[in-house]
Copies of this chain bind each other. A is one copy, B any other.
Amino acid sequence: MAIVVTEIDRVSRTIADSIRGFGVATVHEAQGRKGLMLPYMKPVFQCASVAGSAVTCEVAPGDNWMIHVAVEQCKEGDILIVTPTSPCDDGYFGDLLATSLQVRGVRALIIDAGVRDIATLEEMNFPVWSKTVFAQGTVKATLANVNVPVVCAGALIHPGDLIVADRDGVVVVPRLHAEETLRRSREREARELQTRARLAAGELGLDIYNMRNLLAEKGLKYVTKNKEE
């Protein structure tokens, strides 16, 4: 038995649109250095960043049946998250499913498995982050759940959570923390702009962050020659 949850609370589209530009590194810092997917998740072509609301989809290994079910649950502004119930590199997703998602206004696919037809995905400009690229086809025989909490590439995702993805990877922000994380991302970005200007002017991080005393206290020594050698 398996279930499809049809009514989920989504993160607001305004929040997603506002946070997109800050990027994954900033957003993950802003929510306390958590929520990142593992670093093997890569964009299959070099695309801009995306942000949206998660629709989650489990799939059996080598079986993409439930993606067809999940497509129907997707709305404009969503990002589809697909995770196999055991590790699999097969090519679960190609240009046909991408066409279906694109016409519904889905912003991206994040899949802890393989995808194929990536030349066409790039022509269509449908962004995908995946574990690998593999042409291997799949069957349609086994049920799994849609819109239940899933672990995808090491990160826990609830349906409706905020997803941000760019060339640095993918981060998940719990829906109820999205607004605060947006606010903190803005603040962090503003601080970083100032710091960047000072660094570009030649100031050192050692001085801007007042590190010299603490380094000395911990025991850092400056020597002119390495006596060990």
Interface positions of A (Cβ within 8 A of B): 1-7, 23-25, 28-29, 33-34, 36, 38-39, 42, 49, 60-63, 65, 68-69, 71-72, 85-91, 94-97, 99-100, 103-104, 114, 116-119, 132-137, 139-143, 147-149, 151, 154-156, 166-169, 171, 192, 195-196, 199-202, 204-206, 209, 211, 215, 218-226, 228-229
CB-contact partner of A168 in B88, B116, B151, under 8 A? B116
In the complex with contacts A62-B63, A143-B215, A225-B5, A196-B133 CB distance below 8 A: no
A168-B34 contact in complex given A39-B114, A89-B39, A96-B199, C-beta closer than 8 Å? no
Copies of this chain held together in the complex: 6
Q: What's the Cα separation between A98 and B226 when bound, in Å?
A: 27
A88 touches B69 (CB 8 A): no
Specify which chain B residues have a CB less than 8 angstroms from the CB of A69 in the assembled complex: 206, 211, 215, 220
Q: Are B133 and A168 in contact (CB under 8 A)?
A: yes
Q: Closest Cβ of chain B: how far from A124's Cβ, in Å?
A: 10
With contacts A154-B154, A218-B143, A228-B148 taken as known, whether A136 is within 8 angstroms of B28 at the C-beta atoms is yes
Q: Are A95 and B196 in contact (CB under 8 A)?
A: yes
Residue of A25, A38, A63, A211 with most partner-chain B CB within 10 A: A25
Interface centre among A6, A60, A195 (most CB of B within 10 A): A60
A121 to B, closest residue via Cβ = B167
A71 near B205 (CB under 8 angstroms)? yes
Considering the complex of A and B, which 6 residue pairs feature the smallest CB-CB distances, nearest first?
A61-B62, A141-B141, A39-B134, A68-B205, A135-B168, A25-B135
